[in-house]
């Protein structure tokens, strides 16, 4: 029972950061499952995916009510992202997942750098303050973003938010909160095929899924409410510090296992 309650609290934290930063929550659940619960890297990659869905739906609903979902980006990124998710999930079962976790850490650290640079005004490609909605992006850009995000969703177990949020922000120049909200609803779609495939591969611990799901739903609601009320600069600063810590943790843990 104590362990179940602890996993619920981890789920709440994952849900909060999912709703706050549009990333699905796997950057919390994956290292928690791997480092704190001591599960294998396969379980740490596969188990977060079914947890992503309820978290993304609850947080995404909050952004939808606030008018922060770009429907065109949601539709095309979800459509093309599904194929990428299937491919990424299948490839995961063919290679050593320890190296995948190191790649995950490097991606997260890079994302931390870019968001921090934007928050302090050093990245000319990031639009910090709220603006009018960006013009409709061409379908080929949305398709490329969707396929890439879907691949990394299945390949790294991140839910795709680590690709979607910076792509929406730095490539499509969407408003910060539109990036987060749209990312969440796309993630909800992309999590479905990855969940099915990783489940068949035996990479999902459903007891952990149950406990974390109970926590992620209220966490996602609180997190998305926090972001919708916060200034963009504060959101990005917190996001960058959080990602840097998680990225370093990933790399430290997995490089130890290779020595």
DSSP line for 75-113: HHHHHHHHHHHHHHHHHHTTS-HHHHHHHHHHHHHHHHH
pLDDT of residue 157: 60
What is the pLDDT averaged over residues 33-48?
A: 82
pLDDT of residue 133: 57
In this structure, are residues 211 and 12 in contact, taking their beta carbons and an 8 Å threshold? no
Percent of the chain with pLDDT over 70: 88
Percent of the chain with pLDDT over 90: 28
Round the average pLDDT of the chain to a whole number and report it.
Answer: 83
pLDDT of residue 201: 84
pLDDT of residue 112: 83
In this structure, are residues 245 and 70 in contact, taking their beta carbons and an 8 Å threshold? no
The residue with greater pLDDT, 142 or 237, is 142
The residue with greater pLDDT, 124 or 20, is 20
- Roughly what angle, to the nearest 10 degrees, separates helices 48-65 and 2-21? 50
- Transcribe 165-207 into DSSP letters: HHIIIIIS---HHHHHHHHHHHHHHHHHHHHHHHHHTT---HH
pLDDT of residue 114: 79
- Roughly what angle, to the nearest 10 degrees, separates helices 48-65 and 176-200? 150
Residue 78 scores a pLDDT above 80: yes
CA angle 62/64/66 to nearest 5° reads 75
Residue 15 scores a pLDDT above 80: yes
In this structure, are residues 246 and 81 in contact, taking their beta carbons and an 8 Å threshold? no
Residue 108 scores a pLDDT above 80: no
pLDDT of residue 214: 94
pLDDT of residue 222: 95
> Tens digit of pLDDT for each residue in 168-221?
988 888 888 899 999 999 988 888 887 888 788 888 999 999 999 999 999 999
> Tens digit of pLDDT for each residue in 55-70?
888 999 999 999 999 9
Place of tokens 């990245």: 123
Global confidence as pTM: 0.80
- Looking at residue 36, the DSSP 8-state letter turns out to be I
Greatest mean pLDDT range, 79-88, 108-117, 138-147 = 138-147
Residue 23 scores a pLDDT above 70: yes
Cα distance from N-terminal residue to C-terminal residue, the chain? 36
What is the pLDDT averaged over residues 251-257?
A: 70
> Tens digit of pLDDT for each residue in 123-168?
555 555 555 556 788 999 999 999 988 887 777 666 577 788 888 9
- Residue 94's pLDDT band, with cuts at 50, 70 and 90, is confident
């Amino acid at each position: 029972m104590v362990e179940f309650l602890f996993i619920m609290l981890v789920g709440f934290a994952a849900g909060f950061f999912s709703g706050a930063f549009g990333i699905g929550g796997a950057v919390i659940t994956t290292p928690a499952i791997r480092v704190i619960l001591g599960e294998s890297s396969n379980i740490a990659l596969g188990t977060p995916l079914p947890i992503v869905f309820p978290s993304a739906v609850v947080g995404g609903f909050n952004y939808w009510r606030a008018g922060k979902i770009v429907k065109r980006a949601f539709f095309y990124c979800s459509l093309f992202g599904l194929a990428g998710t299937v491919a990424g999930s299948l490839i995961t079962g063919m290679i050593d997942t320890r190296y995948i976790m190191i790649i995950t850490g490097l991606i997260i650290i890079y994302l931390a750098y870019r968001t921090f640079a934007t928050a302090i005004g050093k990245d000319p490609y990031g639009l910090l303050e709220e603006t009018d909605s960006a013009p409709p992006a061409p379908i080929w850009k949305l398709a490329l973003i969707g396929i890439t995000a879907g691949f990394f969703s299945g390949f790294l177990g991140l839910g795709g938010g680590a690709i979607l949020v910076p792509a929406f922000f730095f490539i499509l120049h969407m408003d910060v909160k539109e990036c987060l909200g749209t990312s969440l609803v796309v993630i909800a779609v992309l999590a479905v095929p990855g969940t099915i495939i990783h489940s068949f591969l035996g990479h999902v611990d459903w007891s952990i899924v149950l406990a974390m799901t109970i926590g992620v739903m209220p966490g996602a609601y609180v997190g998305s409410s926090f972001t919708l009320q916060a200034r963009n600069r504060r959101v990005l600063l917190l996001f960058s510090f959080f990602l840097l810590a998680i990225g370093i943790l990933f790399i430290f843990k997995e490089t130890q296992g290779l020595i």
